Amino acid sequence: MQLSEESVDEFKEIYKKKYGKELGDAEAHESARKLAGFFELLYKCAQEDSAKKRRLKKEPGGFPTDGNRNCLVCHAMITSENGWYDKYGQKCLNCQRALNTGAVPTYVFINHDSFFLPWQLKSKFDLPHATMRKLLRQGKLTARVITTENGGVHEYILLKKENPALVALEKWNPMRKSYDRHRDKVHRREMREELKKLKAGLYAEHAKWKKKIEKLRTR
Ligand SMILES: [Zn+2]
């Protein structure tokens, strides 16, 4: 992007006022170019967004997404072939179907922090997929299932509302100690209890499976 000398000088002045440091010509050009590029991108996104909103007024049921994007719920790659945009944003057709049939509540499409995906359980709590499925079968965890067109499992959505143990686990993060210090002690004890229960359950699961596998091996 070409910037006028006037704009670069203006940038230099603002920079000096804000940071008390004079920028050299080359440095000022480079920084101003980067900043302008960033704003151009923001502007383009805002423009796209408002064009889509205008189109929604004419087509309230939505329309196929454009270009390569990601589903806002399951994060799958979507194109105009398998993506749909409506007032709840862009999604893959599986998540769209789950929205239409009510398999998942609509707030999932608005508040992306209202649920866990299986990979998040793995990365946040070191909970393997197989263990998660086992806990689901035992009713210790609850999931809404987003299905594929053929009725297979596309993705599990573990609503925070339906899985208080996971919420407790998430809150019980040593990094948040200073924050937790301000919360009442009873609540903290409850969280610790939840964590203990869940962990004990998980360890017991692991131990059981380990035994089973060893038995198979020694057969
Ligand atoms: Zn999806």
How close is the Cα of 82 to the center of ligand 1, in Å?
10
Q: Is residue 197 part of a domain?
A: no
How close is the Cα of 19 to the center of ligand 1, in Å?
44
Q: Is residue 46 part of a domain?
A: yes
Note the pLDDT of residue 143. Answer: 97
Burial class from Cβ neighbours inside 10 Å (0-12, 13-18, 19+) for residue 68 reads exposed
CA 13 to chain centre: 40
How close is the Cα of 154 to the center of ligand 1, in Å?
8
CB atoms under 10 Å from CB of 185, counted, come to 9
Q: Is residue 102 part of a domain?
A: no
How close is the Cα of 199 to the center of ligand 1, in Å?
30
How close is the Cα of 66 to the center of ligand 1, in Å?
15
CA 45 to chain centre: 20
Q: Is residue 159 part of a domain?
A: no
How close is the Cα of 75 to the center of ligand 1, in Å?
6
Q: Which pair of tokens denotes residue 44?
A: 């383009």
Q: Is residue 43 part of a domain?
A: yes
How close is the Cα of 194 to the center of ligand 1, in Å?
31
How close is the Cα of 76 to the center of ligand 1, in Å?
6
How close is the Cα of 159 to the center of ligand 1, in Å?
15
How many structural domains compose the chain?
A: 1
Note the pLDDT of residue 67. Answer: 85
Question: Does pTM top 0.85 for this prediction?
Answer: no
Long-range contacts of 129-132 (CB under 8 A, 24+ apart): 131/202, 131/205, 131/206, 132/156
Q: What is the pLDDT of residues 43-92, one digit of tens each?
A: 888 888 889 999 999 999 999 999 899 999 999 999 999 999 999 999 99
How close is the Cα of 111 to the center of ligand 1, in Å?
14
Q: Is residue 189 part of a domain?
A: no
Q: Is residue 27 part of a domain?
A: yes
Q: Is residue 72 part of a domain?
A: no
Domain that holds residue 13: 5-50
How close is the Cα of 61 to the center of ligand 1, in Å?
18
Sign of the torsion formed by the C-alpha atoms of 118, 119, 124 and 125: positive
How close is the Cα of 90 to the center of ligand 1, in Å?
9
Which residues in the chain show pLDDT less than 50? none
How close is the Cα of 77 to the center of ligand 1, in Å?
8
How close is the Cα of 73 to the center of ligand 1, in Å?
5
